[in-house]
């Protein structure tokens, strides 16, 4: 059941990241979901490093770290995706 939650959280974080980033993103939904999963994992690691991984109640700081990490990852991956897609169209 953990993998299902990872996909759901990754999907939601990816969509939130796409909504925060200005402009149009060109990466497909499956790639955005993977970036969201990576953002959740990175955000958890960063929160653990700051000592706020587990608090009583809702872990707002952990969620903020997850969203910020997802925004950065979605932004970088989308830039790489556009560059790779541009290279493919130049070859033909």
Helix (H) or strand (E) holding 30, with range, is helix 29-50
Q: How confident is the model at residue 91 (pLDDT cuts 50, 70, 90)?
A: low
What is residue 34's predicted lDDT score, i.e. its pLDDT?
A: 94
| Residue 59 pLDDT | 81
- Percentage of residues in the chain with pLDDT exceeding 70? 91
- Whether residue 55 is predicted with pLDDT greater than 60 in this model: the reply is yes
Q: Which residues of 43-54 are buried (b: 16+ CB within 10 A; e: fewer)?
A: bbebbeeeeebe
Give pTM, 2 decimals. 0.85
More confident: 3 or 78 = 78
């Amino acid at each position: 059941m953990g993998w299902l939650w990872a996909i759901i959280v990754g999907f939601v974080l990816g969509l939130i990241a796409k909504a925060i980033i200005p402009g149009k993103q060109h990466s497909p939904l499956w790639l955005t979901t993977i970036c969201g999963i990576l953002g959740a994992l990175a955000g958890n690691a960063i929160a653990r490093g700051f000592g706020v991984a587990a608090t009583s109640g809702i872990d707002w700081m952990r969620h903020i770290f997850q969203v910020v990490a997802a925004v950065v990852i979605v932004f970088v991956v989308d830039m790489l995706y556009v560059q790779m897609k541009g290279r493919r169209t130049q070859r033909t």
